[in-house]
């Protein structure tokens, strides 16, 4: 197995490997996004994008980034972002090699903390990270802006609501009433 810096030629592989973590967009946009990521990592002393090759075939990848633990906790941290291995190469120490690269780089930089994440739906990924001693520090929750707005509006007490703005539940109820009245009027005319 060999670990090497990613090149723009690896982008098609990375698009397939990271399909579940990329933004929802057309494939061409995802390719452009990853081309930027590869170029940025190649030109930055604070990033490394590594591809693992197993018997000459691309098998996995990880983006390593020197950052702080969070924007308000300035402890230096090596983030091992999206460590993924193709299913056909699992159980061949590819994931371990990717994480060893993260540890080696952190040691080289004198950084005491490594952070990573696995999708909440990836039982195997989370178990692997737990075996490597990674524990939960925070839970990253994601939602669309309009759903959060709807929930915030629904949770706002009536007396605090902005005049002229109705919660979506009220808007839908009014629309249902209007449709019902229109249906009643139409049946009365018949």
Average pLDDT, the chain: 89
Q: What pLDDT does 169 receive?
A: 67
Q: What pLDDT does 189 receive?
A: 66
Burial class (CB in 10 A: 0-12, 13-18, 19+), 31: middle
Pairing relation of β-strands 2-5 and 114-116?
A: unpaired
Burial class (CB in 10 A: 0-12, 13-18, 19+), 96: middle
Render pLDDT for 90-148 as a digit per residue (tens, 0 to 9): 999 999 999 999 999 999 999 999 999 888 888 988 999 999 999 988 888 889 998 99
Topology adopted by domain 2-131: Aminopeptidase (3.40.630)
State the Cα torsion 53-59-65-66 to the nearest 10°.
-60
Q: What pLDDT does 184 receive?
A: 73
- pLDDT at residue 11 tops 70: yes
Give mean pLDDT, residues 85-89. Answer: 94
Q: What pLDDT does 114 receive?
A: 97
Residue 43 in tokens: 């030109």
User: How far is Cα 99 from Cα 104, in angstroms, rounded to an integer?
Assistant: 9
Provide the sign of the torsion angle of the four alpha carbons 138, 140, 145, 147, taken in this order.
negative
What predicted TM-score, i.e. pTM, was given to this entire model? 0.78
Give the lowest-confidence range in 8-17, 71-80, 140-149: 140-149
- pLDDT at residue 157 tops 90: no
User: How far is Cα 65 from Cα 31, in angstroms, rounded to an integer?
Assistant: 20
Render pLDDT for 114-129 as a digit per residue (tens, 0 to 9): 999 888 888 988 999 9
Provide the sign of the torsion angle of the four alpha carbons 170, 175, 178, 184, taken in this order.
negative
Q: What pLDDT does 42 receive?
A: 96
DSSP 10: G
DSSP H helix total and E strand total for the chain: 6, 5
pLDDT band at 188 (very low <50, low <70, confident <90, very high): low
- pLDDT at residue 187 tops 70: no
């Amino acid at each position: 197995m060999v670990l090497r810096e990613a090149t723009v030629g690896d982008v098609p592989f990375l698009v397939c490997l990271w399909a579940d973590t990329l933004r929802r967009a057309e494939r061409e946009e995802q390719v452009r996004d990853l081309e930027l990521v590869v170029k940025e990592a190649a030109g930055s002393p604070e990033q490394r994008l590594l591809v693992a090759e197993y018997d000459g075939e691309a098998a996995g990848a990880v983006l390593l980034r020197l950052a702080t633990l969070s924007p308000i906790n300035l402890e230096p941290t090596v983030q091992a972002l999206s460590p993924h291995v193709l299913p056909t190469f699992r159980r061949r120490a590819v994931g371990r090699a990717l994480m060893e690269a993260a540890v080696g780089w952190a040691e080289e930089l004198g950084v005491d903390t490594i952070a990573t994440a696995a999708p909440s739906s990836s039982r195997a990924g989370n178990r692997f990270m737990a075996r490597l001693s990674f524990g939960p520090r925070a839970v990253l929750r994601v939602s669309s802006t309009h759903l959060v707005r709807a929930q915030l509006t629904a949770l706002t007490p009536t007396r605090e609501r902005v005049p002229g703005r109705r919660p979506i539940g009220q808007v839908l109820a009014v629309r249902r009433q209007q449709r019902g009245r229109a249906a009643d009027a139409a049946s009365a005319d018949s």
